[in-house]
Structure formats: structure tokens, C-alpha cells
């Protein structure tokens, strides 16, 4: 049995787990942690520590059993990862996987992955109960061979930003490939979306005060995009705005939350319309991702926005209809099942999958890009 550390590292909290695994057996067993035991778990307020090393050191000094050593670590971080180095959004931390390997004397290594890539790996450890079916291909459709076991999988998730990744099977296991798809161009499809696009271009500025030169899909389908949709609708139809809701929005730091809550309560017509526009654009971008990756193994929806607003997603089947609305490609997308991820810590699951692979690879080399 081997000890490893898995982590989900963000600007607000850093969550760590110390686990003991055997890393052997069939992939479906060890990737899901069969026979594994949690030794310790702790969540630390990130801002109270000068470095991530300080957080990990505090954790291990408290929980690492005497005389034992950690074999490897995987940390899913809220920020870009290049050459196993990362900087956390909203923190001054600079994280270096090689430095962590050396400092904590790991026999294996410390691997850093982007938090959305962590969600991709987390798919491999989910149980059927961790998924909610959003769309299933109609009975009678001829699906690609081995679609359910080896087909490409794709993940899309609107939260603070818009994350996208996809998974391919290498003959033994799935590999996860990150992307910056959320920064692709927003392409308006009707007069209302064109008007919203123009509003975003007119009213959005960079941090230095200069106007933006383009509008990405993330500026519409994210926690930042929902307020911009509402903002435009208010300028178009101010008489429809609920004054009490508008006052809350003016005072709120999390405007998107107020809009979504008001839409669910149907207390403001413009909030309801804002959420509908958001969902339709979200479905459209999910279709774009699927056209590019052909995820016959499933398109998976992550992120808190979808989980909290499934009633809006299912309203008039608008998410799925906009997903499928790709002209001649509709017949292709009809073969792609869609699932909502309901597991609350899928990114941390992904960190565990990566560690389990490192342990397994040390015992029985497998073909993987880790």
C-alpha cells in the first residue's frame, strides 16, 4: 500500500487529502479507488499561507503517519499550468512541481494540473449516481463502435469562466487534453444575440481601461456573462425590470447569483429572459465543442451554474435544442449523449485518478501521457 496526496487548490481554499492505495488490479477498479482508504482530509484558507508548500507542510506534519513517506502528489490548481509550473488566480503563489517533489522527498513526483483538466480525469472515477441524464440518443440510432467504452468524451463547464476539455482513449486508459475553447469567438446567431454582442463590445474594458477588441464566448457563457446579458435587456426594456431585484443587483458583489435566483423564483421577467438567453448560448457552444471533438462517449456538463439552474436548462428543452441546432450536423450530434455532473468534488477526484495512475505505472507501466 502506498500513500499519496491529492489536492484541489484555489484562490479561496486549498483542500488536501492523504490517501493509501494499492494501485493494482483492473483499471476500472484502481481508477475508482477500490481498496483505497482516506487517511486524512483538511481544507485550509489559502490567503492565510505564504506559499502552497506551507499548506502542504502543515498538513503532513499533522497527519503523515510516523516513519512513512508520501509517494506522489497531484494538485488541481485554479490557473494555467505550463511545464508543471503554475500561478494561482487571485494569489501570489508560484507553484513548481519539481520543487514540491524535492522538498517533500517524493519517490514519485508532484504533478500540477489545471482544475478543469482535473474535472476531465474526475470523470473516470464517477459512479452512475454522480450523473444526471440531460439527453440520450433516440433508440434505433446506429452509434459508433465502442462509443460507450472508448469513444471521445468532452467536458464543458460554465462558472466564473468557461472551461472545456476532452478525453481520448489510448488503448488502455483515457488521456485528458485541456483547451482554451472558452476563449473562442462568440458568434451571434440572431438579432438579440447580435445586440448583446454589440453591448458587450461597447461597455467592456480591459483592466487598463482600454476597450476590448473582441468578444469571446466566455464573455457570454459564464458568471461574468449573465450580468452583461441582463444589463443589455434592461437598457432595451427598462419597464420590465423588477425594481427590488434591480436594487439587489446594484448592491450585490455576485450579480449573477441574484439574477439566477430571481429567474428561478420568476420574480423578474428580465432575469428569466437573461437566463434563457444564457442557456441557449450555452447549448450552442456545447454543440460547437461537440462538432469539433465528436464525443460519442458523452458530453459532460460541469460547473455550478448548470447544476443550480437545471429547470432553465430543461425549459422547452432549450439547452438540447440549441446543442442540436447545427444544420446538416444535427444528425451527428443526435448521437452524442449529454450528462450533468452532480458530484460536488469532481476536480479532487481527478487529482486522485492521476495519483493512482502514477502508483499503478510504477508497478505496471501503462501507456499514458502523464
Numbered ranges of CATH 3.30.420.40 in the chain:
2-114+345-363
Q: How confident is the model at residue 23 (pLDDT cuts 50, 70, 90)?
A: low
17-26, 161-170, 283-292, 338-347: segment of lowest average pLDDT = 17-26
- The confidence score (pLDDT) of residue 365 equals 58
Taking alpha carbons only, the member of 218, 228, 279 closest to residue 256 is 228
Q: Which fold has domain 127-342?
A: Hexokinase; domain 1 (3.40.367)
Q: For helices 255-265 and 269-293, what crossing angle results, to 10°?
A: 110
d(C-alpha 73, C-alpha 89), whole Å: 21
- The yes-or-no verdict on residue 31 having pLDDT over 90 is no
Numbered ranges of CATH 3.40.367.20 in the chain:
127-342
The overall longest dimension of the chain from CA atoms, in Å, is 70
pLDDT digits (tens, 9 = 90+) for 95-133: 999 999 999 999 999 999 999 999 999 999 999 999 999
For residues 157 and 369, the answer to whether their CB atoms sit within 8 Å is: no
For the residues 1-27, what does the mean pLDDT come to?
A: 86
C-alpha cell at 105: 522527498
- The confidence score (pLDDT) of residue 140 equals 86
C-alpha cell at 164: 472545456
Taking alpha carbons only, the member of 305, 309, 155 closest to residue 223 is 305
pLDDT digits (tens, 9 = 90+) for 45-56: 999 999 999 999
- What's the burial of 368, exposed, middle or buried (CB within 10 Å: 0-12/13-18/19+)? middle
What's the chain's average pLDDT? Answer: 93
| DSSP 8-state class, residue 187 | -
Q: How far is CA 223 from CA 139, 197, 259, in A?
A: 36, 16, 10
Percent of the chain with pLDDT over 90: 82
d(C-alpha 339, C-alpha 344), whole Å: 15
Taking alpha carbons only, the member of 357, 361, 351, 362 closest to residue 14 is 351
pLDDT digits (tens, 9 = 90+) for 173-206: 999 999 999 999 999 999 999 999 999 999 999 9
Q: Assign domain 2-114+345-363 to its CATH architecture.
A: 2-Layer Sandwich (3.30)
Q: Across-strand partners of 214?
A: none
C-alpha cell at 237: 426594456
pTM of the prediction? 0.92
- To which H or E segment does residue 13 belong? strand 13-21
- The yes-or-no verdict on residue 166 having pLDDT over 90 is yes
Amino acid at each position: 500500500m502506498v500513500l499519496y496526496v491529492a489536492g484541489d487548490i484555489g484562490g479561496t481554499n486549498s483542500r488536501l487529502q492523504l490517501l493509501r492505495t494499492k494501485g493494482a488490479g483492473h483499471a476500472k477498479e484502481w481508477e475508482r479507488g477500490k481498496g483505497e482508504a482516506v487517511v486524512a482530509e483538511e481544507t485550509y484558507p489559502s490567503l492565510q499561507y505564504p506559499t502552497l508548500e506551507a499548506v502542504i507542510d502543515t498538513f503532513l506534519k499533522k497527519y503523515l503517519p510516523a516513519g512513512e513517506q508520501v509517494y506522489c502528489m497531484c494538485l488541481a490548481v485554479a490557473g494555467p499550468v505550463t511545464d508543471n509550473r503554475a500561478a494561482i488566480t487571485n494569489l501570489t503563489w508560484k507553484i513548481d512541481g519539481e520543487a514540491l517533489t524535492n522538498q517533500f522527498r517524493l519517490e514519485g513526483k508532484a504533478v500540477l494540473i489545471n482544475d478543469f483538466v482535473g474535472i476531465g480525469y474526475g470523470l473516470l472515477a464517477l459512479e452512475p449516481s454522480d450523473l444526471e441524464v440531460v439527453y440520450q440518443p433516440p433508440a434505433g440510432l446506429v452509434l459508433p463502435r465502442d462509443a460507450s467504452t472508448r469513444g471521445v468524451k468532452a467536458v464543458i463547464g460554465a462558472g466564473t469562466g468557461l472551461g472545456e476539455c476532452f478525453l481520448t482513449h489510448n488503448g488502455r486508459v483515457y488521456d485528458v487534453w485541456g483547451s482554451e475553447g472558452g476563449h473562442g469567438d462568440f458568434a451571434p446567431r440572431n438579432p438579440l444575440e447580435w445586440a448583446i454582442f454589440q453591448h458587450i463590445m461597447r461597455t467592456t474594458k480591459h483592466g487598463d481601461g482600454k476597450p476590448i477588441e473582441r468578444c469571446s464566448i466566455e464573455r457570454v457563457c459564464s458568471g461574468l456573462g449573465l450580468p452583461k446579458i441582463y444589463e443589455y435587456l434592461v437598457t432595451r426594456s427598462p419597464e420590465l425590470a423588477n425594481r427590488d431585484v434591480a436594487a439587489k443587483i446594484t448592491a450585490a458583489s455576485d450579480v449573477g447569483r441574484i439574477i439566477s435566483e430571481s429567474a428561478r423564483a420568476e420574480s423578474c421577467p428580465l432575469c428569466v429572459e437573461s437566463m434563457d438567453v444564457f442557456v441557449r448560448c450555452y447549448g450552442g457552444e456545447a454543440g460547437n465543442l461537440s462538432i469539433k471533438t465528436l464525443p460519442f462517449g458523452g458530453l459532460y456538463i460541469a460547473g455550478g451554474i448548470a447544476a443550480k439552474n437545471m429547470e432553465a436548462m430543461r425549459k422547452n428543452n432549450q439547452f438540447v435544442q440549441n446543442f442540436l441546432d447545427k444544420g446538416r450536423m444535427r444528425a451527428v450530434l443526435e448521437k452524442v449523449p449529454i450528462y450533468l455532473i452532480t458530484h460536488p468534488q469532481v476536480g479532487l477526484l481527478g487529482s486522485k485518478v492521476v495519483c493512482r495512475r502514477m502508483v499503478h505505472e510504477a508497478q505496471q507501466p501503462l501507456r499514458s501521457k502523464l
